Amino acid sequence: MQSNRKIMIGSNVKTHLDVGKGQLLDNKVVFFLIIMIIFVITLVGYMYVRNGLDSLSSRNLAMKSNNAQLHQEILYLESEIIDLSRPGQIQRIAKEQLGMVNSKPQADAIFVKKKNDR
């Protein structure tokens, strides 16, 4: 019985080398999981930033296009104002579109005939 006891006690006892191997394996797994989590967070962050930059870039292009269009419209309207501001154009528009006449002072004479009484 004494020999059985020693065997049982001997089988339950772990050496310091056995304990270190288990902890080392656990540390490697934890280290691997931490590295994987950092890697995934980095990828998700990169995708988020990249998506934001793409969105800003497309909005920037749309604003540049709109700005160029508005600049062309400003140039057109300025030339239209210059064209319509000329005195000849103002007179033509007044006559043709508004039915106005030249405002030169004129003396109008009105003749009244008397009826002869018979």
**pLDDT tens per residue across span 55-98:** 999 999 999 999 999 999 999 999 999 888 887 888 888 888 88
Tens digit of pLDDT for each residue in 16-70? 555 555 666 788 889 999 999 999 999 999 999 999 999 999 999 999 999 999 9
Whether 115 maps to a domain, the answer reads no
55: its two tokens = 């969105």
Whether 101 maps to a domain, the answer reads no
Whether 113 maps to a domain, the answer reads no
State the DSSP code for 98.
T
Whether 38 maps to a domain, the answer reads yes
Token pair 């006449």 is found at 101
The total number of structural domains that make up the chain: 1
Residue 87: give the domain boundaries.
13-96
pLDDT of residue 61: 95
Whether 1 maps to a domain, the answer reads no
pLDDT at 3 over 70: no
Whether 87 maps to a domain, the answer reads yes
pLDDT at 103 over 80: no
113: its two tokens = 């005939």
